[in-house]
Copies of this chain bind each other. A is one copy, B any other.
């Protein structure tokens, strides 16, 4: 006999684009069917509710009411995240079994499942489930919206914990909140060991990742995230391929080189029709284009933001090397879109319904850019297959990637497999969440309140700094004894988004009280990179040299070089170098990281302050030698 149990009916609205065809929305049909056959309650009674939740229609067509299709979830605890529509509805659940009284003290309103039952809901099941800890989730409705795509099904039928250990990006509150919406019950206590289900070994998806140059500065090994060493930035206008910084969100997809000509790019137009291009098509049917462009992670210098402000942020603690510069070779996205039948000119004039171009990757990454950037003949957006005169390396998107010059690198999608023209931005978390900034006070943020980072603000940083030993100029007859000085040599880069040129780099060795100008270095010429593109998409590298007076050093401010230095004194002598840059529209960097601090730690572009030190021991020898 059934026992009436309170429940709340929750309706989750998913953009139509996610499930255009009913076949893509089995969960909606199934959920409605389940609802109709198992519950006594009928549809909400008020006209308003009917309008907002016309699920009878949903049942008929499976999907496609207005611009939404409907998914349904049942749980007293469930809550939905924006942009879902929460539909509280009190009804009575007619269970077909007795209400169990469980021995455990977990929420008794939810059922218990044996792991064998969970296992049946694997990736091939129409209703895939996962466990996280001792909880069971029905992720049927989530698969289509998962930023990583159907890869989530790999974990279906078992525990997701091991996967989240690999893809640490999931270990954030908002990801937990999303999963919690799909909670359907708990793992049966008979299957728990120390309160947790046993963990199966899983296949390592990173096993096929390429070899990397050990000179890269590793931040995480899986997925691979590594900085370009400062010296490599100072040494070369074009960053060598094996020293180009690596920012991977997942593993590196495998495309055998021999099969790469047949690699297929799908372009989906607004009406849902598609056109396919093999890599060979791209290489042979379109003019070859070359653009020299910086890629910079939105988190570049994040560590400075945390350290300077004294406040932690989310994200990888990049220093100055999450930026590199290369000459990219490929074809113009605008050319390919035009060939696919898109009216670029209309879009340039803002007259197209298409407002965004989505890029989807083989390994599940996704992002979008505004259509105007995509079709602008001066925008230089490439579908690139070459890098610095070589085949695109696997770590950088082989066989095909997008290059969106002047924009945050998160839009230059690697391992590009699918382009979608759309009225909306990509629904990916990389578009809707991760790559945004908020006020320094905002720790619980409304993600929709800020725009996705596209063009970058101005940035500069120090990549090398060298402080020579103290030296004293030979005394001249008519002057006082010369004061000792130390030669300081620093170098670095400056870059601004949107193709805005760097016009000046200012350096201070007195914490911003006074400034000098660094020398902006000429760009190296490279026979492999004859074309640069329509704007200043590349960085400027700079150098600065000065003879610092003794007084510039914190530790020894009032001592003369002849003084004896006792062992009790500090072991280093240090000075601070500060750099800031200005671009052609005279935007400049803010003075402090604290004022631009944001919970994601993005766009840490305040003045770069670097402490430069010499070891005292060395110094001591020298001064002792001198006075002897």
Judging by beta carbons under 8 Å apart, are B587 and A441 in contact?
Answer: no
Contact mask for chain A residues 350-378; partner B; CB cutoff 8 A; 1 contact, 0 none: 10000000000000000000001000011
How near does chain B come to A587, taking the closest CB pair, in angstroms?
A: 4
* Interface-side segment among A82-90, A162-170, A589-597: A589-597
Judging by beta carbons under 8 Å apart, are A595 and B515 in contact?
Answer: yes
| A residues 409-445 in Cβ contact with B at 8 Å | 437-442
Q: Write out the residue numbers on chain B whose beta carbons fall within 8 Å of the beta carbon of A595.
A: 506, 512, 515, 580, 588, 591
Judging by beta carbons under 8 Å apart, are A498 and B453 in contact?
Answer: no
Contact mask for chain A residues 442-470; partner B; CB cutoff 8 A; 1 contact, 0 none: 10000000110111111000000000000
Judging by beta carbons under 8 Å apart, are B585 and A498 in contact?
Answer: yes
Is residue A116 contacting chain B, with contact meaning CB distance below 8 A? no
Judging by beta carbons under 8 Å apart, are B504 and A450 in contact?
Answer: yes
Judging by beta carbons under 8 Å apart, are B514 and A440 in contact?
Answer: yes
Compute how far the CA of A377 lies from the CA of B349 in the bound complex, rounded to whole angstroms. 7
- Interchain CB contact (< 8 A) of A596 among B458, B498, B588: B588
- Interchain CB contact (< 8 A) of A450 among B378, B503, B588: B503
Judging by beta carbons under 8 Å apart, are B349 and A586 in contact?
Answer: no
Given contacts A378-B348, A450-B503, A591-B592, contact A582 B441 (CB under 8 A): no
Judging by beta carbons under 8 Å apart, are B378 and A588 in contact?
Answer: no
How near does chain B come to A23, taking the closest CB pair, in angstroms?
A: 39
How near does chain B come to A509, taking the closest CB pair, in angstroms?
A: 12
Q: Write out the residue numbers on chain B whose beta carbons fall within 8 Å of the beta carbon of A501.
A: 451
Is residue A603 contacting chain B, with contact meaning CB distance below 8 A? yes
- 11 contacting pairs across A/B (C-beta < 8 A): A348-B377, A350-B378, A437-B582, A439-B506, A439-B517, A454-B585, A456-B586, A457-B586, A580-B595, A588-B590, A589-B590
Judging by beta carbons under 8 Å apart, are A440 and B503 in contact?
Answer: no
Among A451, A580, A584, A586, chain B packs the most CB atoms within 10 A around the CB of: A586
Is residue A24 contacting chain B, with contact meaning CB distance below 8 A? no
Among A350, A458, A514, A590, chain B packs the most CB atoms within 10 A around the CB of: A590
Compute how far the CA of A456 lies from the CA of B585 in the bound complex, rounded to whole angstroms. 6
Q: Write out the residue numbers on chain B whose beta carbons fall within 8 Å of the beta carbon of A504.
A: 438-439, 450
Is residue A34 contacting chain B, with contact meaning CB distance below 8 A? no
Is residue A157 contacting chain B, with contact meaning CB distance below 8 A? no
Q: Write out the residue numbers on chain B whose beta carbons fall within 8 Å of the beta carbon of A497.
A: 585
Compute how far the CA of A191 lies from the CA of B437 in the bound complex, rounded to whole angstroms. 71
How near does chain B come to A304, taking the closest CB pair, in angstroms?
A: 15
Is residue A516 contacting chain B, with contact meaning CB distance below 8 A? yes
Is residue A564 contacting chain B, with contact meaning CB distance below 8 A? no
Interface residue total, chain A, C-beta cutoff 8 A: 48
Compute how far the CA of A515 lies from the CA of B506 in the bound complex, rounded to whole angstroms. 28
Judging by beta carbons under 8 Å apart, are A515 and B441 in contact?
Answer: yes
One complex includes copies of this chain to the number of: 2
Judging by beta carbons under 8 Å apart, are B378 and A440 in contact?
Answer: no
Is residue A77 contacting chain B, with contact meaning CB distance below 8 A? no
| A residues 79-103 in Cβ contact with B at 8 Å | none
Contact mask for chain A residues 19-34; partner B; CB cutoff 8 A; 1 contact, 0 none: 0000000000000000
Compute how far the CA of A164 lies from the CA of B602 in the bound complex, rounded to whole angstroms. 52
Compute how far the CA of A603 lies from the CA of B585 in the bound complex, rounded to whole angstroms. 10
Is residue A534 contacting chain B, with contact meaning CB distance below 8 A? yes
Contact mask for chain A residues 396-418; partner B; CB cutoff 8 A; 1 contact, 0 none: 00000000000000000000000
Contact mask for chain A residues 279-308; partner B; CB cutoff 8 A; 1 contact, 0 none: 000000000000000000000000000000
Residue of B with least CB distance to A596 = B588
How near does chain B come to A61, taking the closest CB pair, in angstroms?
A: 38
Given contacts A587-B587, A590-B591, contact A515 B454 (CB under 8 A): no
Judging by beta carbons under 8 Å apart, are B439 and A584 in contact?
Answer: no
- Interchain CB contact (< 8 A) of A585 among B457, B514, B534, B580: B457
Judging by beta carbons under 8 Å apart, are B439 and A515 in contact?
Answer: yes
How near does chain B come to A339, taking the closest CB pair, in angstroms?
A: 18
Q: Given A439-B506, A587-B587, A591-B595, output 13 extra A-B contacts at Cβ < 8 Å.
A: A348-B377, A349-B377, A437-B586, A438-B504, A439-B504, A450-B503, A450-B504, A451-B501, A454-B585, A458-B587, A498-B498, A512-B595, A590-B591
Q: Write out the residue numbers on chain B whose beta carbons fall within 8 Å of the beta carbon of A515.
A: 439-441, 595
Q: Write out the residue numbers on chain B whose beta carbons fall within 8 Å of the beta carbon of A453.
A: 586
Residue of B with least CB distance to A458 = B587
Q: Write out the residue numbers on chain B whose beta carbons fall within 8 Å of the beta carbon of A603.
A: 586
Compute how far the CA of A580 lies from the CA of B597 in the bound complex, rounded to whole angstroms. 13
Judging by beta carbons under 8 Å apart, are B451 and A503 in contact?
Answer: yes
Compute how far the CA of A447 lies from the CA of B590 in the bound complex, rounded to whole angstroms. 25
Residue of B with least CB distance to A584 = B451
Q: Write out the residue numbers on chain B whose beta carbons fall within 8 Å of the beta carbon of A372.
A: 378
Compute how far the CA of A349 lies from the CA of B437 in the bound complex, rounded to whole angstroms. 34
| A residues 595-621 in Cβ contact with B at 8 Å | 595-596, 602-603
| A residues 481-530 in Cβ contact with B at 8 Å | 497-498, 501, 503-504, 506, 512, 514-517
